């Protein structure tokens, strides 16, 4: 369940890449039949992942989706190449649209445009900021390719998944799309957490019947406001006002309420937060790398004691609580100091991961911060020699082309 909740939040996040699972939700939400090109194969994803919904998803889309892989080009910009044996589907990093044409083309070349022209399709570009899949969906529904339209599409897919996240048929679709594993789904259902439902209970059209059934589902999914739920919300948000907590609990869906109860129960089992006594009354010297990394290490331990995991958002009030224990040697607004603390934490995590990773070359053992000295030749050693050489050759080519 946690993975599906994270998937729903990722779908709603702007400029976050989406996969086949989002296109399946798109087909079920709007009752359309999208096709995706995988190289020279035109795949009916509804037939593959949700064959019981074929009768509901009959409306044809204006364009098809094309899965693309990226490869370095001579001119410097990334080149789009179709899916093939050398570039399998799991290396897909971009999605474009393709309009079928009733004509035969004898296009020459090895690029993605000539490749699909020979198959009778014209390639149409999409944005390359992470919204390429959502932009393709907007083109399938003849909607404008604007940021607002893409945000509306993301909200619609997020709401559709959240309202049916407990349905067995939705979980089966997500398992078929490899968003969750078969072992995780079996373990979840063995606990008796699967809710009632059937594949035919999923409305696919966007008419009044759909909105009415969705509103009824939303009303029925809201459970009773209990003291345990209020306590969990107070722990999660830090809000003390009971009226606000009751209002928040009434607006949350049953799935989100259960998530908060589960996290609160897990926090109780782990015990109270351990106070980081070593971070109290610490003098922060922002101009020293040793001081920055030491503060970042303490901050990382403080967040872990609050139940935080890498990749998640910082718990509410955790940063402010930690900054109250620090004494800064430099002056400046609190907002700037909080941003610096976040940057130091990211640097600390990167350095920690590099230490855990296997060494790519023989390097001397790291010294203490106070014993660090610049070696002969100076500068930081390169980590990716071939990329550095490619960038230099690209820059030299651009310079020669403009007669600089």
Tell me: do 265 and 293 sit in the same domain: no
The average confidence (pLDDT) of the chain is 78
Tell me: do 259 and 284 sit in the same domain: no
Angle between helices 20-30 and 147-163 (to 10 degrees): 80
Tell me: do 168 and 69 sit in the same domain: yes
Q: Is residue 388 part of a domain?
A: no
**Residue 296 burial (C-beta neighbours within 10 Å; 0-12, 13-18, 19+):** buried
Number of H helices, E strands in the chain: 16, 10
DSSP 359: P
Q: Is residue 311 part of a domain?
A: yes
Alpha helices (H) along 309-370: 318-323, 334-356
Query: What is residue 324's three-state secondary structure?
Result: coil
Tell me: do 75 and 145 sit in the same domain: yes
pLDDT value for 271 = 65
Nearest to 62 by CA among 173, 158, 145, 165: 145
In degrees rounded to 5, what are phi and psi of residue 284?
Answer: -95, 125
Nearest to 68 by CA among 18, 99, 112: 112
Tell me: do 239 and 338 sit in the same domain: no
Q: How confident is the model over 290-327, as pLDDT tens digits? A: 888 888 888 888 888 887 888 777 887 788 888 888 88
Could you list the residue range(s) of the whole structural domain that residue 306 is in? Answer: 277-356
Tell me: do 119 and 252 sit in the same domain: no
Total of domains in the chain: 3
Tell me: do 168 and 289 sit in the same domain: no
Q: Is residue 393 part of a domain?
A: no
pLDDT value for 104 = 67
Tell me: do 31 and 70 sit in the same domain: yes
Q: How confident is the model over 204-250, as pLDDT tens digits? A: 444 444 444 444 434 434 457 888 888 888 888 888 888 888 888 88
pLDDT value for 76 = 64
pLDDT above 70 (res 372) = no
Q: Is residue 312 part of a domain?
A: yes
Element (H, E) at 251: helix 242-251
> Residue 151: CB partners within 8 Å, gap ≥ 6?
14
pLDDT value for 203 = 43
Q: Is residue 371 part of a domain?
A: no
For the question of whether the overall pTM of this predicted structure is more than 0.75, the answer is no
Of residues 158 and 194, the one with the higher pLDDT is 158
């Amino acid at each position: 369940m946690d993975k599906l909740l994270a998937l729903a939040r990722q779908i709603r996040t702007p400029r976050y890449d989406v996969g086949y699972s989002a296109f399946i939700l798109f087909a079920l939400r709007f009752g359309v039949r999208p096709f995706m090109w995988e190289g020279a194969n035109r795949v009916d994803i509804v037939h593959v992942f949700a064959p019981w919904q074929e009768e509901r998803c009959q409306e044809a889309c204006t364009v098809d989706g094309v899965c693309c892989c990226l490869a370095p080009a001579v001119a410097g910009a990334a080149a789009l190449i179709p899916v093939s044996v050398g570039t399998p589907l799991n290396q897909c990093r971009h999605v474009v649209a393709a309009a079928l044409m009733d004509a035969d083309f004898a296009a020459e070349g090895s690029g993605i445009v000539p490749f699909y022209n020979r198959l009778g399709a014209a390639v149409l570009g999409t944005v390359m900021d992470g919204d390429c899949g959502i932009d393709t969906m907007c083109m399938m529904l003849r909607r404008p390719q604007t940021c607002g339209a893409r945000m509306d599409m993301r909200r619609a897919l997020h709401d559709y998944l959240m309202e049916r996240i407990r349905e067995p048929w939705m979980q089966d679709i997500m398992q078929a799309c490899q968003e969750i594993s078969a072992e995780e789904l079996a373990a979840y259902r063995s606990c008796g957490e699967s809710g009632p439902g059937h594949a035919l209970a999923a409305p696919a059209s966007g008419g009044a019947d759909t909105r009415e059934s969705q509103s009824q589902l939303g009303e029925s999914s809201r459970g009773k406001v209990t003291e345990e739920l209020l306590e969990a919300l107070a722990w999660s948000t830090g809000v003390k006002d009971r009226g606000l907590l009751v209002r928040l609990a009434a607006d949350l869906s049953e799935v989100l309420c259960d998530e908060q109860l589960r996290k609160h129960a897990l926090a109780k089992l782990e015990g109270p937060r351990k106070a980081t006594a070593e971070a109290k009354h610490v003098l922060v010297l922002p101009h020293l790398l040793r001081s920055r990394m030491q503060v970042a290490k303490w901050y990382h331990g403080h967040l872990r004691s609050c139940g935080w995991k890498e990749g998640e958002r910082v718990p509410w009030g955790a940063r402010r609580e930690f900054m109250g224990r620090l004494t800064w040697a430099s002056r400046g607004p609190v907002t700037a100091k909080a941003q610096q603390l976040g940057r130091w934490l990211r640097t600390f995590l990167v350095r920690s991961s590099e230490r855990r990773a296997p060494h790519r070359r023989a390097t001397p053992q790291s010294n203490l911060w106070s014993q660090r000295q610049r070696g002969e030749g100076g500068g930081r050693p390169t980590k990716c020699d071939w990329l550095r050489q490619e960038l230099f050759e690209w820059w030299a080519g651009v310079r020669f082309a403009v007669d600089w």
